[in-house]
Copies of this chain bind each other. A is one copy, B any other.
Amino acid sequence: MTRPAIQTVDVPLGERAYQIHIGGGLLARAAEWVAPVLRGREIFLAVDANAMEPHGRTLAEALRPLGRVEIAIIPPGEESKCVAQLDALWDRLSGARFGRNAAVVAVGGGVTGDLVGFAAASYLRGVDFIQVPTTLLAMVDSSVGGKTGINNRHGKNLLGAFWQPRLVLADTDTLATLPMGERIAALAEIIKYGVIYDAELFRWLEANIAALRDLQPAAIAHAVRRSCAIKADVVTQDERESGLRQILNFGHTVGHAIENVAGYGTLRHGEAIAVGMIVESALGLGHGPAWTTAEHQRLVALIAAAGLPTMLPAGLDLTLPQLFAAASSDKKNRGTGTKYIVPRALGTVEAVTIADDVVAPLLLAAGAKP
């Protein structure tokens, strides 16, 4: 199998513009891309414990010729997105006397990127940040767009900053060891991009979903590149989420409510979003000729073909009152009623506020309890 060429996506955010490089074997060659953006000779690698061998080590060795490299290990799991881990990173950075020209590099999945990105945003009021996502979900979603943050006992991502990376290196070779369940869950976000922004990507996914599940390099590279390009396009138009950016939330109002009520970690994020997309897709039916039962059924079929759930798993008893309470307290809905992103056509969505009694039967159909 020939290895596809390295592909680059530009994120044209003015003075915060950056590039995303996608392909195999990037880590060992990382200095090629890091050197041009490095302001000083100080590099702080914060690495998910599960990504340290071999990825963290490969990257550390590749970057050592550029200057001092310190390594911090982040415990895996969502629990690490907490103030204690943030404080530990602050302590490591300041104890090792990193200066304003330092570059902080996150190596791992979304948890690592979100936590370490917030540390970079706030250390010395902001130092350079580089994302090295090693999961498919992080490559197509959290590593692009500049959202960083941690959780507290009142909710997810309540504390953080908008802080754009200076560079994203998505080495698709790191996906080889990713468990099948994680690969599949990430497909939910890729399918989302097709629905919200790119009918052509949606059709490509219908034809290539098996190749993606099998991690065929050319298919993975294409899906990651298109996903990053779409997210970059949306983020460029609305960096701080005051309007357009909310379309990225398709499937997430319901999906977050499911995760919240079920307890984070009960389902994978992508699994909850898959069910959420089906509910929110149905909310878009009956409002025009371009999103009909036929399009809705194609989405359900694609989700199923990806290996994602189309309903809540049996035995998971989530009630309507629980789900509505969670949806209305979602960060993005605080004080604004419950907003959903619904399709108008393949590649076009719209934000609408919808009453609970309209949503209820769809949640019941998806397996929620009364």
Contact = CB atoms under 8 A, between A and B. Distances in A.
Interface of A: 40, 42, 83, 87, 90-91, 94-95, 97-101, 118, 121-126, 147-149, 152-155, 158-162, 240, 329, 331-332, 334-336
Contact of A155 (B83, B94, B147, B160): B94
Nearest to A118: B122
A125 B162 contact: yes
Nearest to A147: B125
Contacts of A100: 331-332, 334-335
A91 B152 contact: yes
20 contacts: A83-B83, A83-B87, A90-B158, A91-B152, A91-B153, A94-B152, A94-B155, A94-B159, A97-B154, A97-B329, A99-B336, A101-B335, A118-B122, A122-B159, A122-B161, A123-B158, A125-B147, A125-B148, A125-B240, A126-B240
Contact of A94 (B99, B158, B162): B158
Contacts of A97: 154, 329, 334
A124 B151 CA distance: 10
Contact of A95 (B122, B154, B335): B154
Contacts of A335: 40, 42, 99-101
Contacts of A149: 125
A160 B122 contact: yes
Contacts of A240: 125-126
Given A161-B121, A161-B161, A335-B99, A152 B329 contact: no
Contact of A160 (B40, B125, B336): B125
A284 B304 CA distance: 74
A95 B158 CA distance: 11
Nearest to A95: B154
A38 to B, nearest CB: 13
Contacts of A83: 83, 87, 90
